[in-house]
Structure 1
Amino acid sequence: MGEALRIGTRGSQLALWQARWVQQSILEQWPGTTVELVIVKTQGDKILDVPLAQVGGKGLFVKEIEEALLDGRIDLAVHSMKDMPAALPEGLHIAAVPLRENPLDALISLRHASLADLPQGARVGTSSLRRGAQLLHQRPDLTIDPLRGNVDTRLKKLETTELDAIVLAAAGLTRLGLADRITAHIAPDIMLPAVGQGALCIEARNNDGATKQLLAALDHRPTHVAITAERAFLHRLEGGCQIPLAGHATLENDQLQLTGLVAELDGSRMVRATNRGAPDQAAALGRQLAETLLHRGAGEILERLQAHAR
């Protein structure tokens, strides 16, 4: 580590909010530390007119930042956990997972109070296959319109196009002070969140003991345990943005509960299950849930979707 601790981040408004939150948290824990932000442009920031599922999926928002971390241009990286691929590059690890924000998805509409209130054939904006599949599972009549861009861009499209509603992560809206734009939170039995949704990932080099020690104070054990289960589930299913896959874990009273699902793109079929266990078995719990889904038919869905992606 040099004289200043360098945090790598994307340049979007939300990414900068997250990086500044980590910066401030480090300064509170370690007064006198010099912490600066280094903005790194990722492939996902450059391709804005194509759905993520068509241009490579997970990793599009982290690869260049991880390269900067590996070659020493930055000392740590702050990502949205849901952007993280299931496997990390050799030499890097998740050093801390702070307290999770609201993990749910949020419906934003100018005229309708809830998902159930949307009229027949309503147009809903989202480029997430996970969100689209679960919306269509509940409401096969809906039309799903692709929607890319940062939070402000998506909110403006709701106002300037014929969309009846859009779906965004509640966490991003809350962090940006836009929680008042949320029309309704979508319950997880209707729309299960993405793996890691609402959580931050602070990534560092394996051989950087000083940074690892500094970041330990930012780690929130219940969130980290839940994320470990979710990411083990994701890893076993080799999930990316090309697959409608969801997974969400909670840790309460020292009991870990993980729910996961895999769906057809059109929502016509959904395989869903819940597993419970001890927090020190988080990774095993995630793998076990993945196996349960595979045996119940998720394997057929995944094979077909992966073949189609190729």
Structure 2
Amino acid sequence: MTGTSLIRIGTRGSRLALAQAHEVRDRLMAAHGLPAEAFEIVVLSTAGDRIQDRPLSEVGGKGLFTQEIEESLLEGRIDLAVHSSKDMATQVPDGLALTAYLPREDVRDVFIGRRVETIADLPLGARVGSASLRRQALLRRLRPDLDLVIFRGNVQTRLAKLAAGEVEGTLLALAGLKRLGNEAAATEFLDAASFPPAPGQGAICIEARAGDARTDALAAAIDDADTHAVLKAERAFLAVLDGSCRTPIAAHGTLNGDRFRFHGMILTPDGTRMHETHIEGERGEAKELAEDAALRLVAEAGAAFFEDWKR
């Protein structure tokens, strides 16, 4: 692709978001033989970045990290948007589409301790910070004695708060640490089978205007087919459960050749109740299998389980 018009890539302004946007740009440069000057990284402030003193569930949920960027796409001020897939709402606005996914990074969460290396070694009643209801619920299942507090901010902010002694530990996505070259900060790597990730965790997605032939051609060249298939399934699972920032939901799909395996989990925020399911089938049925997994959990847990989340 050799067009001369500038390709504007929209992103949030954190170090991690910028690293992801530059990775997308670099892959597009390599795929299409374009120079860096053919691209502009457009930094956009989102409500999720500005509001740091409250849980996302109290101020609007996942859309807080995407609304301004999606408005810029719809208004033609940017051509592509780069997001962390786990930040995306289950439905994108009319006129937009998720067109590509980069190869997925390690999906695991990690624990970062201030004075101890593992969750098991934390003293009784230790304070641990996390902004994720899923991580909080899973952690409460492991250590119901811990004092869990809301921990907002980008990776650097959270690590600084930890170092300052505001908490004794925190949980972060390994993928983000690796993209920032900060994997060494992790003191314990949590097994994805027992501590499953958020839907979409570890995957960078590209959003564009639906049906835009120019951006479709750009993105298609760097789309990872396996990641795309798995993320489509995980998002379908989330959509059936009407997932939001009020609902602790975990999902992890994997492909091994033409075989698709899926692990889905729902929890109450206090971690006292949990339902999970494992399902396997053909690659071409991945989305339907994930939807079936969600329906199984709904049937098993009962309607009251989901109503409790909303109170």
Given the two structures, how large is their TM-score scaled by the length of structure 1? 0.96
Match of 1:205 in 2: 209
Identity %: 45
CA contact (8 A) 1:271 1:298 kept: no
Matches within 5 A, 1:139-154: 139-154=143-158
Matches within 5 A, 1:210-289: 210-289=214-293
Matches within 5 A, 1:70-149: 70-149=74-153
- 1:95-147 deviations in Å (ceiling 9; x for gaps): 11010111111100122121222222121110111000000011111111110
The answer to whether structure 1 residue 21 and structure 2 residue 23 are counterparts is: yes
- 1:246-281 deviations in Å (ceiling 9; x for gaps): 111111121111111111111011011111111111
In structure 1, distance between residues paired with 2:154 and 2:302: 32
Question: Can you give the 5+ residue segments of structure 1 that lack an aligned partner in the other structure?
Answer: none
SS of structure 2 residue aligned to 1:118: coil
Q: 2:8 aligns with which of 6, 9, 12?
A: 6
CA contact (8 A) 2:114 2:165 kept: no
Q: Cα offset for 1:162?
A: 4.1
Measured on the aligned residues, the alpha-carbon RMSD in Å equals 1.3
Q: Cα offset for 1:6?
A: 0.5
Whichever residue aligns with residue 255 of structure 1, its letter is R
Q: Cα offset for 1:189?
A: 3.0
CA contact (8 A) 1:263 1:298 kept: no
Q: Cα offset for 1:299?
A: 3.5
Whichever residue aligns with residue 4 of structure 1, its letter is L
SS of structure 2 residue aligned to 1:260: strand
In structure 2, distance between residues paired with 1:76 and 1:283: 25
Aligned length: 307
Question: Can you give the 5+ residue segments of structure 2 that lack an aligned partner in the other structure?
Answer: none
CA contact (8 A) 1:106 1:169 kept: yes
CA contact (8 A) 1:9 1:16 kept: yes
Q: Cα offset for 1:155?
A: 0.2
Whichever residue aligns with residue 28 of structure 2, its letter is I
